[in-house]
Structure 1
Amino acid sequence: MFYLQMLAQYIGQYLKTRLQYRSDLVVELVSDLLFQAVNLIFIIVVFGHTDFLNGWSRDEIIFIYGFFLVPFALFSSFFNIWDFNERYIVKGELDRILTRPIHSLFQIVLERMELESLFGAITGFVVMAYAGARLGLSLNWYDPILFLVFVIGGALVYAGVFILIACISFWADARTSIMPMMYNIGNYGRYPVDIYNTVIRFVLTWILPFAFVGVYPAAFFLRREEWYVYSFLTPVIGVVFFAISVYVWNEGVKRYRGAGN
């Protein structure tokens, strides 16, 4: 209950702050929508030259992209730790975090919230609705429940991977540029993994499991039965990677000795 109360208070303060600068908020939302539109246009342009990509149709690829946007929006809203190394380790702000009686990772999550990123989920729903209508997909009564489970699982996969990368800073506190590269690798999860070679497919499934953010869970709603096992592994992989990342984070905090002078 304490953590839920803290979350509610932080969200309240965040909304007050953001609504003080409405124009800035609108510009940020528009720029985010334009970025997503560019990615969607890229997919459409690719399929302007071919109807299928290794057995996947244009509308199926668009559906996968729409699904990907939902867990990614959830991740982007709460896990903006891309500058953890420079801000909290190099500049020493982690010292301030560790003086408070609340878990350090939870504090950083609250401090770096960007709730406007949740609007990306709306774009995802619109894209899925468009592609689903063209594909003639139908919904079963349990699909919304599984959708929520898969979305949370996908968001936890992203969170787990990036928390693990942030934890590198506890052992190597120099400025690093791994985060931007990892964001680019994460984009591969928007597309069917079977269009890649065996090595990349293995990496995207078991090492950096970004395929569980997009193609694997989306394959269930596309009725791709050959992928069902991977679909139902999505929440398992998400919980496992997130639990490992929290454990490594706690070990890293124990190692941390302060910014010094």
Structure 2
Amino acid sequence: MFYFSMFTQYVGQYMKTRMQYRADMVVELLSDMMFQVTNLVFILVVFGHTQFLSGWTRDEIIFIYGFFLVPFAIFGAFFNIWDFNERYIVKGEMDRILTRPIHSLFQVILERMELESLFGAVTGIVIMGYASIQLGLSFHWYDFFLFILFAISGAFVYAGIFVSLASIGFWSDARTSLMPMMYNIGNYGRYPVDIYNAVIRFVLTWILPFAFVGVYPAAFFLGKEEWYMYSFLTPVMGVGFLVLSVLLWNAGVKRYRGAGN
């Protein structure tokens, strides 16, 4: 209850702050939408030259892309720690974090919230709706709950990977450039993994499991029975990677030496 209370208070203060600059928030939402539209146009351009991509139709890949946007939006809203190393380690703000009676990772997450990123989930659902109509998909009553489970689990996969990367800063004590590189690798999870070679498929499934953010859970709703096992592994991978990242974070905090010379 204490952590939930802290969360609601931070959200309240965040919304008050953002409402002071409404125009800025609207511009951010529009720029994010244009970015998603650009990626969608790229898919349409690719399928302007071919009808199938490794057995996947245009609308199936659009559905996967739409699904991917939902967990990615959740991740972007609550795990915005791209600059953790530079801000909290190099500039020493971690010292301030450790003086407060709340778990350090939870506090960093609260401080770096960007709730407007959740708008990307709306965009993803709209894209999924369009693709579902084109594909003539039908859904059962329990699909809604599975969708929520898979979306949150996919966000946990992303969170686990990037929290682990942030934790490296406790040992390096210097600026690192891993975050942008990993963000670019994560984009591979927007597309079916069987369009890549075996090595990349293995990496995207078991090492950096971005495939569990998009293609594997989305395959369940597309009726791809050969992928069902991977679909239901999504919650396991999400929780597993998140727990692993928290353990790595806790170990890193013990190694933290503070700012100064």
* Interval of TM-score (by shorter of Structure 1 and Structure 2): over 0.9
Aligned to 1:239: 239
Question: In the TM superposition, what whole-angstrom CA distance separates every residue of 1:26-71 from its partner, at most 9, and x where no partner exists?
Answer: 0000000000000000000000000100000000000000000000
Q: Secondary structure in 2 aligned to 1:151?
A: helix
What is the correspondence of 1:211-222 to structure 2 with a 5 Å cutoff? 211-222=211-222
- Percentage of pairs with the same residue: 77
| 1:178 aligned onto 2:186 | no
For residues 118 and 76 of structure 2, the distance between their equivalents in structure 1, rounded to whole angstroms, comes to 8
Question: In the TM superposition, what whole-angstrom CA distance separates every residue of 1:86-131 from its partner, at most 9, and x where no partner exists?
Answer: 0000000000000000000000000000000000000000000000
For residues 175 and 161 of structure 1, the distance between their equivalents in structure 2, rounded to whole angstroms, comes to 18
For residues 242 and 233 of structure 1, the distance between their equivalents in structure 2, rounded to whole angstroms, comes to 14
Give the residue type in structure 2 aligned to 1:171: W
Q: TM-score, normalised by structure 2?
A: 1.00
Equivalent pairs counted in the alignment come to 261
Give the residue type in structure 2 aligned to 1:259: A
For residues 190 and 45 of structure 1, the distance between their equivalents in structure 2, rounded to whole angstroms, comes to 16
What is the correspondence of 1:33-182 to structure 2 with a 5 Å cutoff? 33-182=33-182
RMSD between superposed Cα atoms in Å: 0.4
Offset at residue 162 of structure 1 (A)? 0.2
Give the residue type in structure 1 aligned to 2:54: N
| 1:10 aligned onto 2:10 | yes
For residues 7 and 156 of structure 1, the distance between their equivalents in structure 2, rounded to whole angstroms, comes to 18
Offset at residue 210 of structure 1 (A)? 0.2
For residues 95 and 177 of structure 2, the distance between their equivalents in structure 1, rounded to whole angstroms, comes to 23
Give the residue type in structure 1 aligned to 2:87: R
| 1:208 aligned onto 2:208 | yes
Q: Which runs of 5+ in 2 are unaligned?
A: none
Offset at residue 141 of structure 1 (A)? 1.1
For residues 96 and 174 of structure 2, the distance between their equivalents in structure 1, rounded to whole angstroms, comes to 20
Offset at residue 253 of structure 1 (A)? 0.2
For residues 248 and 125 of structure 1, the distance between their equivalents in structure 2, rounded to whole angstroms, comes to 33
For residues 61 and 22 of structure 1, the distance between their equivalents in structure 2, rounded to whole angstroms, comes to 34
Q: TM-score, normalised by structure 1?
A: 1.00
Give the residue type in structure 1 aligned to 2:84: F
Q: Secondary structure in 1 aligned to 2:141?
A: coil
For residues 176 and 255 of structure 1, the distance between their equivalents in structure 2, rounded to whole angstroms, comes to 17
Offset at residue 212 of structure 1 (A)? 0.1
Give the residue type in structure 1 aligned to 2:61: I
For residues 164 and 112 of structure 1, the distance between their equivalents in structure 2, rounded to whole angstroms, comes to 16
For residues 168 and 257 of structure 1, the distance between their equivalents in structure 2, rounded to whole angstroms, comes to 14
Aligned to 2:252: 252
For residues 237 and 79 of structure 1, the distance between their equivalents in structure 2, rounded to whole angstroms, comes to 17
Aligned to 2:27: 27
Question: In the TM superposition, what whole-angstrom CA distance separates every residue of 1:134-165 from its partner, at most 9, and x where no partner exists?
Answer: 00000101100100110011000000000001
